[in-house]
Structure 1
Amino acid sequence: MPLTMTPRVLLCFTLLLAALTLAMPSSARVMPDLYEVSEAVPSRGTTDRTVATSRGLERVFVRVTGDLEIASHPKLAPELEQARKYVQGYRYESDNNQLYLHLSFDPQAVNDLIHQLQLPLWPNNRPGTLVWMAVDTLQGGRDTLRQEDYPELFGLLDGLALERGLPLDFPVMDLNDQRNMPLGSLWAQDEGAAERAGVRYRPDATLMGRLLQTSGERWQANWLLIHGGRSYAFDATGSSLEEVALRGVNEAANQLAERYAVRSSDTNIASAVVVEISGIRSFAAYSQATSYLQGLAQVSSADVVAVDGDRLLLSLTSSSQLQTLRDVLALNRNLQLAGEDGMVDLTGYRAPLGSAQNPLRYSWH
């Protein structure tokens, strides 16, 4: 018997889909405002604007290179003193009696300088990161950190995510999350639990932290970043809960920037990687797939080699390592990794992964 939907059922179904969409933040987000900042200023005077513009450009370089210490680069200091050269536009805003200078820097000019100085460039297509945290205090004992209980802390983390250009998400910690990620598993940094609990959020990366108060003014934290089938453990110490939490997110941003940054010093070692994409059943899919690959900062060219039915074969020229390129491709949810069963001849030889005989295989969804 065919299923029919009355207007009321259809409305309920639509609302359910909307709720599911809100519960599953998009991964691999394109960060649109990396080149825009707001700086508090005491006046509209030229001197104050010059100082604020230099500070603003430094913040942009941190976001775009992924390097928290980039301002110490000796060749960058003169450019920060002449930051006005890179300004595309500015305006003043007031909020609670505080004057702010909103600055928009020219993305192409900034990127050209990064290339000229051979600095790393972290492309704006960045991994959505889901953050789970547990706390153990001297007074309250051990518990899961929830936004409603620590609004100031989570506000600081949101601000840091904006400064680093790292898209962060936090679990809602409803009954579903509590069942899939019980406190014991979170404190043990159980990667299996993280995988199960992350299904509803579909993150590209997961960051788990256990934050321990060791004395009245001493805190320590153990962090685990899970991404791309690999795990990175690191520690943080500080004088407050906020300090060790911010240090954890900062280090996660450092790790991800290191993984995805494009370095102009590598341009002399560019190589070709062959990619096969199945499931290209329309011109729209063809256009979306080729446009995505051609737009990647890690790819200098993406040439169509052949089209066979629903299969598209492309040759990508990239100076990134093969694993880095695979990590970048994995950020697009439309690309699903397929099998890598390269042809093996009678001698047992398997063609290198990414070659014409053994391409990187994906399916388009």
Structure 2
Amino acid sequence: MLKRWLIGIFICFSLAISASQGADLYRVLVPVDDQTKESREAGIEIAFSKMLIKLTGNSQILQSPQLKPFLIDPKAFLDSVGFNQLSDSAAKKNIATGLDVKFDRPLVDKLLKQAQLPIIPAVRPKFLVWLMVDDIAQGRRVLDESTSKQLQSGDHSFELVEAFERAMQARSISYFLPSYDLEDQLSLSVKDAWAMKIDPLNNASQRYDADGWFALRVFKASDGQIRGAWAYQEAGKRQMNDFYGDSMTDLIDASVDQVLDTLLQSHTYVPQLETDKLLVQIDGVLSYKNYQMALRGLEQLELVEALQLYSVNKGELVVAIEINGSVELLHAELIRTGLVESYLSSDNRSIGRLTYNWVGQ
């Protein structure tokens, strides 16, 4: 009885954690210049992009040809939005105001499912990260969990850890640093770690319970420029790249995006569609002649195998289509007919549909 009771508590606790994690994935706090309408509109656009990146694990998701045909006005996905003060660690470039944007989970999930985009589950992977730094005071060293918490503000290492923490939080991905105790030091010297030697790094990572690992090294050159490199091994494939620039935050953001875009691919799944029919919405079909032209134009498309009228309401024509091919090819073929043009709808009823304006004569 006690065992069953404990299992029940564990399950409820696990579900609560999962639900909490899931809810946070659809909420984004972004810095804005002020509380004007223009800043609010721009903030919603940025928040929408960051939210999709968190969910899909792909920093280039807005450029995906699978997503583009389904994109509508981000405001159609809103659950709530309001201005908040940024915390000291979140504020950048002396901007103290943040826009707290929460998106409607069912509507966003509907978009991702219809576009057939890979999604990271709510219980997300956790990575081991080897952070190496070289500074005048202490030379080259591997940062561990203990020393990373003792760094002082203004220190080069502190700047690295703070920038890295923000970048990982923006992607909603957990990580931890190694203990770098005697066992680690015997299998991975500071020299080998700094040289980004994959085999020693991979061997030292095996003792840790992680879903993957990557390494990042940073130092400040004599000219004041920040230089560094990252490396990882995933499914037997090795990758390494250098970076340099003036802004620690920008460099770490870009490096984390490049690494996670690859590492997270093996942790995603593609949601299954409940039907193979696609809804195409054409607005501005105001006459019976245009209605016939629109249906005839759709029927003549090479990719269309079958179509069925879904609804007609005040100039809005919606057709359910079965296609033989990809959505992005159908979208391109529709645009080439010259009968319609793509547009961003602000109506959440349009989520998961291909939306167009009628321009045919």
The TM tier, using the shorter chain, reads 0.5 to 0.7
Does residue 54 of structure 1 match 2:45?
A: yes
Does residue 125 of structure 1 match 2:116?
A: no
Letter matched to residue 88 of structure 1: D
Match in the other structure for 2:332: none
Letter matched to residue 119 of structure 2: L
1:75 and 1:182, CA in 2 relative to 1: closer, same or farther beyond 3 A?
closer
**Alpha-carbon distance in structure 2 between the residues aligned to 1:213 and 1:266:** 50
Structure 1: segments with no counterpart, 5+ residues: 1-27, 269-365
Match in the other structure for 1:362: none
Does residue 90 of structure 1 match 2:97?
A: no
Letter matched to residue 84 of structure 2: E
**Alpha-carbon distance in structure 1 between the residues aligned to 2:39 and 2:194:** 47
Match of 1:162 among 157, 169, 184: 169
SS in 1 for 2:25: coil
SS in 2 for 1:120: coil
Deviations 1:254-311 (A, max 9, x none): 112222333469999xxxxxxxxxxxxxxxxxxxxxxxxxxxxxxxxxxxxxxxxxxx
**Alpha-carbon distance in structure 1 between the residues aligned to 2:220 and 2:86:** 36
Contact 1:93-1:100 at 8 Å conserved across structures: yes
Match of 2:194 among 175, 187, 194: 187
**Alpha-carbon distance in structure 2 between the residues aligned to 1:185 and 1:71:** 38
Counting aligned pairs with the same residue, the percent is: 22
Contact 2:133-2:217 at 8 Å conserved across structures: yes
SS in 2 for 1:125: coil
Contact 2:113-2:273 at 8 Å conserved across structures: no
Contact 2:67-2:117 at 8 Å conserved across structures: no
**Alpha-carbon distance in structure 2 between the residues aligned to 1:213 and 1:151:** 13
SS in 2 for 1:234: strand
1:206 and 1:31, CA in 2 relative to 1: closer, same or farther beyond 3 A?
farther
What pairs up with 1:291-302 in 2 under 5 angstroms? none
1:244 is displaced (CA, Å) by 4.8
Does residue 36 of structure 1 match 2:27?
A: yes
Higher relative CO (Cα under 8 Å, sequence separation at least 6) belongs to 2
Structure 2: segments with no counterpart, 5+ residues: 1-17, 88-94, 152-156, 276-361
Match of 1:259 among 254, 266, 277: 266
1:104 and 1:266, CA in 2 relative to 1: closer, same or farther beyond 3 A?
closer
The structure with more radius of gyration: 2
1:113 is displaced (CA, Å) by 0.8
Match of 2:62 among 42, 66, 71: 71
Letter matched to residue 131 of structure 1: V
1:246 and 1:215, CA in 2 relative to 1: closer, same or farther beyond 3 A?
farther
RMSD across aligned C-alpha pairs, in angstroms? 3.9
**Alpha-carbon distance in structure 2 between the residues aligned to 1:53 and 1:246:** 20
Letter matched to residue 114 of structure 1: L
What pairs up with 1:190-229 in 2 under 5 angstroms? 190=197, 193-194=200-201, 197-198=204-205, 201-211=208-218, 216=223, 220-227=227-234
Q: TM-score normalised to the size of structure 1?
A: 0.54
Contact 2:198-2:232 at 8 Å conserved across structures: no
Deviations 1:127-169 (A, max 9, x none): 2111112234689753334524422211111111122222121
